[in-house]
Amino acid sequence: MDYQSIITFFMEMAGTVAFAASGAMVGVERNMDIFGVSVLGVVTAVGGGMIRDIVLGIIPPNVFINPVYALVATITSCLVFLVFYWKRQLLEGHMRLTYDRVMLVMDSIGLGIFTVVGVNTGIRSGYMDNVFLLVFLGTITGVGGGLMRDMMAGVPPYIFVKHIYACASIVGAVVCVYMNRFVGNVEAMMVACFVVILIRYLAAHYRWNLPRLSHNESEK
C-alpha cells in the first residue's frame, strides 16, 4: 500500500464517518427506528460511491469488496442513534443550533472528501482526459449519497434547496481535475477538498444564494 493509497484511505474513512453521521441525524430527526437510522447513514456514506462505480463499470462496486466502509458507517450511525436516544433534549431548544452546526460541518467535510475521491477514482480508471466525466464522478460521489438519503427519507433533496451545496462540489471537482495536471495527486486532492469546504462554509456563513424566482407564487 503506497503513500497515496494510505492518504486516500484515511480521507475516505473521515468522509464515511462524516456522511454516515449526517445521514443518521436525518433519520433521527424523522423519528426512525435504529434500523432506518442505520440504513440512512450507510446509504449517505456509500451511495454516491456506488453510483460512481456502476457508471464506471467497477463491478461489483468497491463498497462490497472493502466492507470496512459500510461497517464504519453502520457503527457511526448506531452511535449517533444512541446519543440521541439517551439525550433526547439535544434535538430541542438552543441545542438545536448546535445540532445544525455539527450537521453542517459533517456534511461539508464529507462533501469535500468524497468529491476529490470521486475525481480520483475516475483518473485511476483511465479517464484523465474526459474532464466532463471526471467532474460528474466527483460531484455524484459528493452529492449522490445525500441525494439518495433525502429521496429515501422523503424530504426535499438538500442539494436543491440549500445554498450552493452542489456548486461547491462542482467547483472542487474542476479544481481537482486541473491541479492533477500540474501538481501531485495527493496535493491536488488536499487543495480541492479544502476549496469545497471553504466554499460551503462561506456560503452558509454569509448566506450566499444563487438567483431564484421570487416567492410570490404560493408553493404547493
Contact positions vs its own copies (CB under 8 A): 27-36, 39-40, 50, 54-57, 59-61, 64-65, 67, 70, 84-85, 88, 91-92, 127, 130, 132-133, 136, 147, 151-154, 156-157, 159-161, 164, 166-167, 209-217, 219
What single DSSP character describes residue 178? H
How near is the Cβ of 191 to its own copies at its closest, in Å? 23
How near is the Cβ of 102 to its own copies at its closest, in Å? 17
Could you identify the residue written with the cell 466527483?
138
What single DSSP character describes residue 215? S
How near is the Cβ of 17 to its own copies at its closest, in Å? 19
When the beta carbons of 2 and 211 are compared against its own copies, the nearer one is: 211
When the beta carbons of 37 and 117 are compared against its own copies, the nearer one is: 37
| Residue type present at position 157 | P
When the beta carbons of 12 and 190 are compared against its own copies, the nearer one is: 12
Q: CA-CA distance, 153 to 27, in Å (whole number)?
A: 7
Phi, psi of 177 (to 5 degrees): -60, -50
When the beta carbons of 41 and 190 are compared against its own copies, the nearer one is: 41
Q: CA-CA distance, 166 to 168, in Å (whole number)?
A: 5
Closest C-alpha among 161, 158, 207 to residue 25: 158
When the beta carbons of 132 and 182 are compared against its own copies, the nearer one is: 132
When the beta carbons of 5 and 216 are compared against its own copies, the nearer one is: 216
How near is the Cβ of 163 to its own copies at its closest, in Å? 9
How near is the Cβ of 155 to its own copies at its closest, in Å? 8
Q: DSSP string covering 141-167, please?
A: HHHHHHHHHHHHHTS--HHHHSTTHHH
Residue 3, H or E segment: helix 3-29
Closest C-alpha among 36, 109, 26 to residue 74: 36
How near is the Cβ of 140 to its own copies at its closest, in Å? 11
